[in-house]
Amino acid sequence: MTNIKSKLNCIVFVLILSIGPVFAAEKMLLENEKNSISIFQNAASSIVNVSNMKIGRGLFNIDATEFEAGMGSGFIWDKSGHIVTNFHVVENGESFLIAFKDDKKQYRAKLVGADPKKDIAVLKLIELPRLLNPIVVGESKTLQVGQKALAIGNPLGLDHTLTTGTVSALERKIRGYGGVSISGMIQTDAAINPGNSGGALLDSQGKLIGVNAMIYNGAGAQSSAGLGFAIPVDTVKTIVPQLIKHGKVIRPGLGIAVLEEYYAARFGVLEGVMIKIVDPKGPSAKAGLRGIRSDRQGQYYIGDIITGIDSADVKSFDDLYTILDKYKIGDKVKIKYIRDNKEKIVDIVLTQV
């Protein structure tokens, strides 16, 4: 009996010696450090690496070869295997490979839908791994400047990297990859580099508050300069379900196509949006708006120039898109436009586009 007790005491002593340094090291950590470590350990399995694959053929090789054309990050949205990432990460991809933390296998995925104007895309895994850990979704409307922000992604191809910082500013309007500005962007000084795109921006509770987006700075560089931007999660929660259900985002519209600003300027239109084409079945046609037209002699006449919607001024296509994005299908708006140098106003009910 004495021998048994002695052996047990030895085992306990060895365990104390081996575990002791761990407890000591953990005790020395600051609360902020413990929080960051906990968030990474809990959320890292929800973050994935996204490889954009294309098919190529060599000059003297008729066999098709798959190669990686680009890569970025993404995160698991649900148990069905939907992956959320940036549109520019998957743009022009022919197939996609998804890599999970601590899993050597790569899983194929297909594109479900994308919204270039908001730089968001949804992929779906063709084969599911044994375990899926969807990201915990938070909200962005309650964010405050100064609160903690953590970015997890795969910058420069480095697997599952954590960077920390703060929410530097809110409601930033940044020109995105879809040719229009994305409103409500979150600015953070958590380092965001190439490969971080599509990854998660988290709060101190480990909840998703935004999708990291690689935005070019004024010099066109793609390296972090303390100015990272993320698409707010409230926008993501609106768009992703539509992409999963419809493959696209259903938005309210006027039923028109506008003339590109470069060509409009050649007509002397420097402010406002000139209508190029009016959908004959759309609300603008019913309201009597006109696009560019010509007579039998080949003489062209400029289209109506939209200058405002309700109380908001429209000076560019970017303004037009941003303003309409705040409305819903079925809303009635007042359109201010110029025809023959005279300002006119007409009511239009927005329809699905």
Cα separation, 296 vs 303, in Å, equals: 17
| Reported CATH class of domain 252-352 | mainly beta
281's tokens: 């079945």
pLDDT at 109: 95
Q: Are 227 and 217 in contact (CB under 8 A)?
A: yes
Boundaries of every domain in the chain = 44-125, 148-246, 252-352
Indicate if 310 belongs to the active site. Answer: no
Cα separation, 39 vs 208, in Å, equals: 11
Kindly list the distances between the CA atom of residue 49 and the CA atoms of 140, 157, 198, in Å, as whole numbers in the listed order. Answer: 24, 9, 9
pLDDT at 304: 93
Residue 353 Cα to chain centre, angstroms: 21
Mean pLDDT per block of 10 residues along the chain (353 residues) reads 54 49 63 90 93 72 69 94 94 90 91 94 94 94 94 80 92 81 89 85 95 64 68 95 94 92 87 93 93 85 93 92 91 94 94 85
Cα separation, 89 vs 122, in Å, equals: 11
40's tokens: 């990474």
Look at phi and psi of residue 138 and say left if phi exceeds 0, alpha if psi is from -120 to 50, else beta.
beta
| Per annotation, catalytic residue among 88, 168, 224, 319 | 88
| Per annotation, catalytic residue among 45, 51, 73, 197 | 197
| Reported CATH class of domain 148-246 | mainly beta
| 304 CB-contact burial (10 Å; exposed 0-12 / middle 13-18 / buried 19+) | buried
Cα separation, 150 vs 185, in Å, equals: 16
Indicate if 95 belongs to the active site. Answer: no
Residues in CB range of 334: below 8 A, 6 or more apart: 308, 309, 310, 345, 346, 347, 348
Beta strand 351-352 with 252-253: parallel, antiparallel or unpaired? antiparallel
Are domains 44-125 and 252-352 of this chain identical in fold? no
Helix or strand (DSSP H, E) at 237: helix 233-246
CATH number of 44-125: 2.40.10.10
pLDDT at 58: 58
Indicate if 160 belongs to the active site. Answer: no
Cα separation, 70 vs 95, in Å, equals: 11
| Per annotation, catalytic residue among 119, 189, 203, 319 | 119
Cα separation, 146 vs 149, in Å, equals: 9
Instruction: Give me the residues paired with residue 200 across strands.
Output: 152, 211
pLDDT at 115: 94
pLDDT at 12: 47
Cα separation, 279 vs 75, in Å, equals: 39
